[in-house]
Amino acid sequence: MMKIVTIIGARPQFVKAAVVSRALDFFAERHRNKQINEVIVHTGQHYDTNMSDIFFAEMQIPKPHYNLHMGGGYHGVMTGQMLAKIEEILLEEKPDVVLVYGDTNSTIAGALAAVKLHIPVAHVESGLRSFNMRMPEEVNRILTDRISSWLFCPTKKAVNNLQGEGFMRKEMTGKYLIENVGDVMYDAALFYKDIAQPSETLSNVLKEVNYKFYLATIHRAENTDDMVRLKNIIKALECISRNIPVILPLHPRTRNIIQQYNIQLDNIKVIDPVGYFDMITLLEQCQGVLTDSGGVQKEAYFFCKPCITLRDETEWVELVEHGYNVLVGADYDKILQAQKESSAKQLDFSIKLYGDGTAGDKIIQKIVEVVLK
Ligand code: UD1
Ligand code: UDP
């Protein structure tokens, strides 16, 4: 019998965990002699229905056993309170492994609570680096990697980053593992694209823009919390919107700041954050993507769309190297130039950068090999 506690809390983690939970069920079905029990802890970092519940419903993620309701507030308070609550749960549940995803405050809180109780941590999406320590995500990633026993990397580059920091294949426990398994978000895109149906609300929006549009998302602190950057980006999206509609599913963080500073959005087609199925529809049907999201950069490539990234650096460097993605920061002229060029681009999306769509299975297989031996 093996028990895994999965810690999730923010939107991208629901997408990633959906893949691994499904792989776990699949494994358990094929190996009835190996009992695996997954206990899901939702920290509550994201809590609006369309930032959380909709993903559980659409992607059929098992209902969390615990919801800590720890959304909002400063990073220190949020992370500290999560840490204390997760520790209580781990003491009660006594799992063999704690599974964490990505680079949010929920990730580091889960990993830290586990390692202090000597419970091995498996980190999915390990080894990514932006080399920008001002990003909260970079701090979370580096610290989580340092205290994890299983470092599941999505790319060769991520493995190289870890090795460059002195990580070796086996260290101390003898259980220490670094493995390039591919990207779980690729697994998700492959699996859900065949079943995703757009909502009626989105179908009406698509009709309104005559099925020709760019898709934009903005939520990174480096953009939302810097008025010059945010205004430049909005001005550029407004300008693009005069030629081709731009649909912007607005993250609550950005919505709050836009309201607070009374920033006008006249032409951009702003909609509420959408569920994963609507997002797939938007990615499938758009002409191109403008984003500062980590996940959406890759999804643009999965759905064969050129991507313009509204950041100064990216962890997904292979997308830039292959010309699928252009980094423009928050520079008004560069954004407009990149959009013009992207509409004329002929890109070959046949190169496979993120594995073969079985990252979830590989992760479960590896954990089971060690824990159940
Ligand atoms: C977090 C992650 C970021 C990730 C993003 C995905 C950290 C440090 N940041 O950023 O890495 O890219 O999630 O979307 O963990 N809010 C709501 N409703 C919600 C969720 C948030 O209104 O359901 C508002 C709250 O005012 C909250 C603010 O958004 O204070 C920011 O949320 P938070 O989870 O702190 O950070 P994100 O910007 O979402
Ligand atoms: N996403 C979504 N609806 C939206 C915006 C994003 O379903 O309105 C999905 C997106 O397709 C991807 C994930 O959320 O799978 C990315 O999350 P986000 O951009 O919030 O975080 P990041 O990847 O930057 O950490």
Q: What is the token pair recorded at 33?
A: 């002699």
- Which ligand is the nearest neighbour of the Cα of 254? 1
* Whether 168 contacts 331, CB under 8 Å: no
Query: Is the CB of 49 inside a 6 Å radius of any atom of ligand 1?
Result: no
Nearest to 14 by CA among 120, 124, 121, 108: 124
9 lines ligand 1 (CB under 6 A): no
Residue located nearest, by CA, to atom 24 of ligand 2: 293
For residues 305 and 283, the answer to whether their CB atoms sit within 8 Å is: yes
Tokens read off for 187: 């697994």
Interval between CA 116 and ligand 2 midpoint (Å)? 31
Query: How far does the centroid of ligand 2 lie from the alpha carbon of residue 133, in Å?
Result: 22
For the CA of 293, the closest atom of ligand 2 is 24
Q: What's the pLDDT at 371? A: 82
Q: What's the whole-number mean pLDDT along residues 158-186?
A: 83
Ligand nearest to the CA of 184: 2
> For residue 204, with 0-12 CB atoms within 10 Å meaning exposed, 13-18 middle and 19 or more buried, which class applies?
exposed
Domain with CATH 3.40.50.2000 in the chain: 2-183+355-371, 200-342
The residue-averaged pLDDT of 47-73 equals 97
Average pLDDT along the chain? 95
| CA–CA separation, 315 and 330 (whole Å) | 17
Calculate Rg over the CA atoms of the chain: 20
Instruction: Indicate the pTM of the whole model.
Output: 0.97
Nearest alpha carbon, ligand 1 atom 3: 104
Ligand whose nearest atom lies closest to the CA of 43: 1
Ligand 2 centroid to residue 14 C-alpha, Å = 10
Q: Kindly list the distances between the CA atom of residue 105 and the CA atoms of 46, 239, 275, in Å, as whole numbers in the listed order.
A: 11, 35, 22
In tens, the pLDDT along 94-118 reads: 999 999 999 999 999 999 999 999 9
Q: What is the mean pLDDT of residues 179-200?
A: 97
Task: For domain 200-342, give the CATH superfamily.
Answer: Glycogen Phosphorylase B; (3.40.50.2000)
Q: What topology is assigned to 2-183+355-371 in CATH?
A: Rossmann fold (3.40.50)
Choice from 191, 201, 217, 307 to test ligand 2 binding pocket (greatest atom count within 8 A of CB): 217
By the 8 A CB rule, do 12 and 299 touch? no
230-274 pLDDT, tens digit per residue, is 999 999 999 999 999 999 999 999 999 999 999 999 999 999 999
What pLDDT sits at residue 169?
61
Asked if 11 contacts 17 with a C-beta cutoff of 8 angstroms, the reply is no
Report the residue among 15, 74, 103, 104 best suited for mutation to probe ligand 1: largest number of ligand atoms under 8 A from its CB: 104
Nearest ligand to the CA of 280 is 2
Angstrom distances, CA of residue 35 to CA of 28, 38, 136, 225, 370: 7, 10, 37, 47, 14
pLDDT higher than threshold 70 for residue 278: yes
Cα–Cα distance between 307 and 153 in angstroms, integer?
23
**Tokens found for residue 29:** 């079905």
Beta bridge partners of 288: 214
Mean pLDDT of 334-359: 95
Confidence of residue 172 (pLDDT cuts 50, 70, 90): very low
* 51 CB within 6 A, ligand 1: yes
Give me the active site residues, please: 219
| Pocket mutation for ligand 2, best pick of 137, 279, 286, 315 (most atoms within 8 Å of C-beta) | 279
Residue 345 CA, ligand 2 centroid: distance in Å:
25
